[in-house]
A and B are shown apart, each in its own frame.
Chain A
Amino acid sequence: MIKDFEYLAPKTLKEALTLLDKYRDECKVIAGGQSLLILMRQRLVTPEYLIDIKGLSELNFIASDAREGIKIGALATHRAIEKSPAMKNGFSVLGEMERRLASVQTRNWGTIGGNICHGDPAGDPAPVLIALKSTLKIASLRGERTIPVEDFTLDYFETALEPDELLTEIQVPLPLPHTGTAYSKFNIIESDAATVGVAVSLTLGSGSGVCKDARIALGASAPTPMRAKKAEGVLHGKKITDTLLREAGVVASTEAEPISDIAASAEYRRELVKVLVARVGKEALARAQQA
C-alpha cells in the first residue's frame, strides 16, 4: 500500500521549482506516474510530499523548427509523440520507438520526461535520443543547464538530476543531410521491455557514401544506456558494408556490460547486441541513403 503523503499541485514551473527547492529529498515529482506509482505501491519510494507536475501545460509541447530540430516538452506523453506529425523524416524513428513502447494505456498518460528521469537502462527513448544527439534542458531556481542525454543516466535508476531540479525539455537537433536513424529492441512478448535495445544513426558523406559519423546506442546492455564508441569507430570514415556492420556489432558486444537475469543471460545479451547492431545499422544505412 502506498504510504500517505502530502499532495501539492503547482500551477506554474516556477511554483514547482520553488517547492522542489523547499522540500528536496523529502519530496518526489510525479508526472504520468507510470513508473513511480509502481515503486510507491511497493513502498520502495515513500515521499512525504508528492509534487504533481502533470498539469504544467507549459511543459507539454512538441515544437519543430526548420533549423533547430524538435523540442519536446518533458510532459509530452509517449502517445502524443507517437502521433505527432513532427515525427517524420529524420525524426520518424522517435515515433516508431514510441509506438512499440509498453501499451496504449501507458503511452496515453506516461511522459517522455518521466521515462528518462526514471533512469531505467532498458528504457526505449534514451538509446534513440542518444543516437539522435539529443540534449536535455534542466531547470531549477538556480537557473538552467543542458546536458547530453548520453551523460544523464549515472547508474541503475540514478540520474544526474539534483534534488531541486526538474527536466523541462528534450532538444533533438536537425539531423545532418544523409543521416538515417533506426531502433530495434529484442523481446519475446511484443510489447515487452527490451531484453536488449539498439539505436543506430549513420551520416554519410554526400556522394561518397562513406560514413562521416556514426552513433551506436545500446539499451538494457549496461547499468545505463550507453554509446558503443569503439564500435562507432569501426564505421567512421569507411564505406558501410554488411561485413563492416557485423564487425561493429562484435565490437559493440565487447563494450556492453550486460547482466544475467530471468530474461536472458549476459552471454546471450552480447549475442543479441551483435545481431541487432548489424541489423539496425543496415536499416539506418538504407534511411541515410534515401535522406
Chain B
Amino acid sequence: MKRELRLTVNGQPYELYVKPKTLLVEALRKHLGLTGTKRGCESSSCGACTVILNGMAVKSCSILALQANGAEVVTVEGLADGEKLHPLQRAFLDYGAFQCGFCTAGMLASAKVLLDENPKPTEQQIRECIDGNICRCTGYNSIIRAITAVVNGEYKEEK
C-alpha cells in the first residue's frame, strides 16, 4: 500500500505517494525526475547516490524514501543558483575534477557538506569526506585540488 511522503528537495516542497520499499534515490530519480544523482551499485559501497539530507551527506540508495519524510534534501541540481554555479562546480570545471562525470553529483554533495561544516579542512579531512565516493576516472587528486582551491578562497563569491 502506498504511503504519503512529504519532503523538500532543493528548496521545493513535494508530496508523493510511494511504496514503502521505495529508496530515496528512486524517489528522487523516478518520482521527481532528478536524474543528476546516480546509482552505481547495490551494496551501498560506491557513493554515486550521495545527496544532502538535513545537512548531512547520506547514501540515498541506503535510505527508505519514507525515512526522509519531513526532511530537507539537496541534490546536485540544487547547487547552482540559477545560472550562477556553486564555487565547487566552478572549481571542478577549472581543475578537471571529473571525467566521465558519473560520480560527480555524489562528490559535489560530499564536498559541499564538508565545506558547510568546516570551511578550513586539512587535506586529510578532504580525503576523508570523499572516501565514501568512488571515482574510476580521475585518481581523486584533481578532486582534492578543486576542493582545496575553494577552501583557499579562489572562488570567493562576489557580493
Whether A and B touch directly in their complex, counting CB atoms under 8 A apart, is answered as: yes
Q: Is the interface of A mostly helix, strand, loop or mixed?
A: mixed
Pair A5/B50 contact, Cβ less than 8 Å: no
- Complex: how many Å from CA A169 to CA B71? 26
Q: Which of A5, A79, A190 is the one whose CB lies under 8 Å from B56?
A: A79
Interface assignment of A65: CB less than 8 Å from any CB of chain B:
no
B74 to chain A, nearest CB (A): 14
Chain A contacts with B in 63-89, Cβ cutoff 8 A:
79
With A7-B66, A102-B132, A105-B110 already in contact, 4 other A-B pairs whose C-beta atoms are closer than 8 Å: A30-B64, A50-B64, A52-B67, A108-B56
Interface assignment of B87: CB less than 8 Å from any CB of chain A:
no
Query: Inside 8 A of B44's CB, which chain A residues have their CB?
Result: 34, 37-38, 106
Query: Inside 8 A of B113's CB, which chain A residues have their CB?
Result: 104
- Complex: how many Å from CA A274 to CA B131? 29
Q: Which of A6, A37, A190 is the one whose CB lies under 8 Å from B131?
A: A190
* Per-residue A-contact encoding for B22-47, CB less than 8 Å = 1, 0 else: 01000000000000000000111001
Interface assignment of B3: CB less than 8 Å from any CB of chain A:
yes
Answer whether A191 and B132 are a contact pair too, CB < 8 Å, given A4-B19, A34-B44, A104-B110: yes
Answer whether A7 and B59 are a contact pair too, CB < 8 Å, given A38-B44, A41-B42, A105-B47: no
B48 to chain A, nearest CB (A): 11
B residues at A contact (CB < 8 Å): 1, 3, 19-21, 23, 42-44, 47, 50, 53, 56-59, 61-64, 66-67, 110, 113, 128-129, 131-133
Question: B109's closest neighbor in chain A, by CB?
Answer: A105
Interface assignment of A161: CB less than 8 Å from any CB of chain B:
no
Count of A interface residues, CB-CB < 8 Å: 29
Query: Inside 8 A of B3's CB, which chain A residues have their CB?
Result: 7
Pair B57/A105 contact, Cβ less than 8 Å: yes
Interface assignment of A282: CB less than 8 Å from any CB of chain B:
no
Query: Inside 8 A of B62's CB, which chain A residues have their CB?
Result: 33-34, 37-38, 105-106, 109
Query: Inside 8 A of A30's CB, which chain B residues have their CB?
Result: 64, 67
Pair B43/A38 contact, Cβ less than 8 Å: yes
**What are 22 of the A-B contact pairs (CB < 8 Å)?**
A4-B21, A7-B3, A7-B66, A9-B66, A34-B62, A38-B43, A38-B44, A41-B42, A42-B42, A50-B20, A102-B132, A103-B47, A104-B57, A104-B113, A104-B128, A105-B47, A105-B57, A105-B59, A108-B56, A108-B58, A109-B63, A191-B132
Interface assignment of A264: CB less than 8 Å from any CB of chain B:
no
Interface assignment of A54: CB less than 8 Å from any CB of chain B:
yes
Pair A104/B132 contact, Cβ less than 8 Å: yes
- Complex: how many Å from CA A7 to CA B5? 12
Q: Which of A37, A42, A103 is the one whose CB lies under 8 Å from B64?
A: A37
- Complex: how many Å from CA A271 to CA B134? 31
Query: Inside 8 A of B67's CB, which chain A residues have their CB?
Result: 30, 33, 52, 54
Question: A8's closest neighbor in chain B, by CB?
Answer: B20
Answer whether A105 and B20 are a contact pair too, CB < 8 Å, given A6-B1, A38-B44, A54-B67: no
